[in-house]
A and B are shown apart, each in its own frame.
Chain A
């Protein structure tokens, strides 16, 4: 007498899917870290004319955060923060004003080597003096980076009347 065949459990081989998803997770993990590194908390100024930006629209960029070096309203000195890769992880690197020019020159040279147009994104705290932002503008001029984007809060300043 013929016995009916034993039921064979149907299982999907999920291993390749897990591999792909792991790669995606690592990618987004690093991307999220990079996005966070480009958004160090600073009190950005307000501008009604500001346009919405998507990270992809900015293309190849170097983002420099200019923030007061000391506490309080009087920002006599400022420090320049960039996200950098130390070989193991993305770290916050604080630059002196005189290092900003060297950084911009190096990034501009690398972008030129890769035939890419480099853009400089400046995230300056509203309390810093113009001379502190001028350091970055001057560095851009010397490195021949003409495309500059200032990050601001969109809308009218809520502290201003009317």
Chain B
């Protein structure tokens, strides 16, 4: 018995279901790469360009405004000092109000505002101090970094 010759198009696998599945995977990974950062934000700072390289290099910054944070009760809080004047209630909102007053009094927002924190202060309090400064309009917030061996 003679076999019927295959018609054109016969014997070609049907790729349509595969394309469907690949499309779904593509959309899944496309969204997966873009959804992660939705709830997160960023605070930006710049280190003094004169810093580094070389652990022996010391940079003296003369900031217009200096915020000092010291540890309180083993990480339970932070004591705040603005230009060496301790804030009575150690409240970051009070710090924000004081910084805002300085801005309204004519402080240049582009001048360096340096946050110096004791090494044991929790990171959340350092960020709150930075947040208070940025909200008050200061754009050049920097951090005092001690050049010493890593802990």
**Which of A's residues lie within 8 Å of B, judged by CB?**
6, 8-11, 14-15, 17-18, 21-22, 24-25, 28-29, 31-32, 35-36, 38-39, 44-55, 66, 73-75, 77, 97-98, 100-101, 121, 124-135, 137-138, 140-154, 157, 162
Q: Is A47 touching B128 in the complex (CB atoms < 8 A)?
A: yes
Report chain B residues within 8 Å CB of A157.
Answer: 124, 128
- With both beta carbons as reference points, the residue of chain B lying nearest to A22 in the complex is identified as B22
Interface size on B, residues (CB 8 A): 61
**Which of B's residues lie within 8 Å of A, judged by CB?**
7-10, 12, 15-16, 18-19, 22-23, 25-26, 29-30, 32-34, 36-37, 39-49, 51-55, 69, 74-75, 93, 117-124, 126-128, 130-131, 134-135, 143, 145-147, 150-151
CA distance A144 to B57 in the complex (A): 12
Report chain B residues within 8 Å CB of A154.
Answer: 39-41
Task: Give chain A's interface secondary structure class.
Answer: mixed
CA distance A24 to B19 in the complex (A): 13
Q: Is B29 touching A152 in the complex (CB atoms < 8 A)?
A: no
Q: Is B36 touching A36 in the complex (CB atoms < 8 A)?
A: yes
Report chain B residues within 8 Å CB of A15.
Answer: 15
Q: Is B119 touching A148 in the complex (CB atoms < 8 A)?
A: no
Contact of A29 with B29 at beta-carbon distance under 8 Å, contacts A73-B75, A137-B145, A141-B145 already known: yes
Q: Is A125 touching B131 in the complex (CB atoms < 8 A)?
A: no
Report chain A residues within 8 Å CB of B55.
Answer: 142
Q: Is A126 touching B7 in the complex (CB atoms < 8 A)?
A: no
Q: Is A130 touching B123 in the complex (CB atoms < 8 A)?
A: yes
| Contacts A18-B22, A130-B120 known; 10 new A-B pairs at CB < 8 A | A9-B9, A14-B16, A21-B23, A28-B32, A127-B124, A132-B123, A142-B52, A149-B43, A153-B39, A154-B39
